[in-house]
C-alpha cells in the first residue's frame, strides 16, 4: 500500500496507460481521480477503483475546465498528492511529402495545433492549476508522460515529438522551480506499448516493432503504470527532474 490514502489525479485515465495507472494506484491504496473526454469509458472504470474514486469529464487543453476540475477535487478531497499528466493524442503525418519533385502533401496546420494544445499545453494547464495546492499543503508529486520519440525523434511525428520533447523540458524546469516546495517532478518515456491504438495496427507492423526492441516484446500498459507507481511513491523521494525510459531497450531509428 505504497500510496495509501494519497489523492492521485490522472488525466486521460479512461483508457490505455492512464487506465492501467489508475488501477495500479488504486491497488496501492490511492484515492484515484481520473479525467478524460471519454465519459462513458471513464465512468465504467470507477467500480474497479474503489469507493473513493471519481471521474470528471475534462478537456485538458481548456484552462477553465482544468481549473474547475482541480478546484472541485481540492474541495472534495482536501488535498492533491499526485498528478499524472497522461492525456495525449496523435495526428501523424510528414512535414512535407514530395513526389516527382513536387510537393503533394504536408502536415495540416490544424493537426499541429491540436496536438500541441492537448499534449503540451494540457500538461502546462494541469500542472499550473495543481501546483499551488501542493505548495499550500507542503509537497506533492507531478509525473509527466513523455515518450522515447521525445528523446530520439521519429519519422512522421513532427507535432507529437515536439510535444514530448517539450514535456521533458518543462519537467526539468519545474523540478528546479518547485523543489523548494517539496514537489518532485519527473517524466516517463514509454517505448512501443500495447495500447488500443497499437492493437489496431497491422500484425506485420507490430512484429516489426517487436523485432526492433531488444527485449523482444512490446510494453504492456502495466509496465508504464509500475514506473509511475515507483516515481509517485516515497521510494523515489530523492528523484526529481528525471526522465525514466520504459522501452525494452529500443532506440528509435529512421
Which residues are identified as catalytic? 160
Residues 6+ apart with CB under 8 A from 248: 191, 192, 213, 214, 215, 216, 217, 218, 219
Q: How far apart (Å, rounded) are the C-alpha atoms in residues 227 and 190?
A: 10
Cα dihedral angle (165, 68, 16, 218), rounded to 10 degrees? Answer: 20
Report which DSSP code applies to 218. P
Q: In what order do the strands lie in the sheet with 140-145?
A: 54-57, 31-36, 7-11, 82-85, 140-145, 183-190, 243-246
CA-CA-CA-CA torsion sign (207, 209, 210, 212): positive
Residues 6+ apart with CB under 8 A from 21: 10, 13, 84, 86, 221, 224, 225, 228, 229
Q: How far apart (Å, rounded) are the C-alpha atoms in residues 119 and 89?
A: 7
- What crossing angle do the helices spanning 158-178 and 121-137 adopt, rounded to 10°? 20
Residue 185's DSSP bridge partners are: 142
- Torsion region of 231: left, alpha or beta (phi above 0 gives left; psi -120 to 50 gives alpha): alpha
Amino acid at each position: 500500500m505504497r500510496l495509501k490514502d494519497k489523492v492521485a489525479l490522472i488525466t486521460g485515465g479512461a483508457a490505455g496507460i492512464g487506465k492501467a495507472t489508475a488501477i495500479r494506484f488504486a491497488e496501492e491504496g490511492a484515492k484515484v481521480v481520473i479525467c478524460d473526454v471519454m465519459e462513458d469509458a471513464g465512468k465504467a472504470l470507477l467500480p474497479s477503483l474503489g469507493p473513493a474514486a471519481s471521474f470528471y469529464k475534462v478537456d485538458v487543453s481548456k484552462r477553465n475546465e482544468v481549473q474547475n476540475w482541480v478546484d472541485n477535487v481540492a474541495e472534495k478531497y482536501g488535498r492533491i498528492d499526485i498528478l499524472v499528466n497522461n492525456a495525449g493524442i496523435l495526428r501523424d503525418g510528414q512535414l512535407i511529402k514530395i513526389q516527382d519533385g513536387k510537393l503533394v502533401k504536408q502536415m495540416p496546420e490544424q493537426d499541429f495545433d491540436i496536438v500541441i494544445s492537448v499534449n503540451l499545453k494540457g500538461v502546462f494547464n494541469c500542472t499550473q492549476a495543481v501546483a499551488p495546492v501542493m505548495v499550500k499543503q507542503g509537497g506533492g508529486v507531478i509525473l509527466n508522460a513523455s515518450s522515447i520519440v521525445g528523446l530520439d525523434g521519429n519519422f512522421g511525428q513532427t507535432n507529437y515529438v515536439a510535444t514530448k520533447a517539450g514535456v521533458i523540458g518543462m519537467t526539468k524546469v519545474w523540478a528546479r522551480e518547485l523543489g523548494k516546495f517539496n514537489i518532485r517532478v519527473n517524466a516517463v518515456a514509454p517505448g512501443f506499448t500495447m495500447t488500443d491504438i497499437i492493437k489496431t495496427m497491422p500484425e506485420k507492423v507490430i512484429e516489426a516493432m517487436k523485432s526492433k526492441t531488444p527485449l523482444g516484446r512490446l510494453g504492456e500498459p502495466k509496465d508504464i503504470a509500475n514506473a509511475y507507481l515507483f516515481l509517485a511513491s516515497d521510494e523515489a523521494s530523492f528523484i526529481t527532474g528525471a526522465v525514466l525510459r520504459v522501452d525494452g531497450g529500443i532506440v528509435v531509428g529512421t
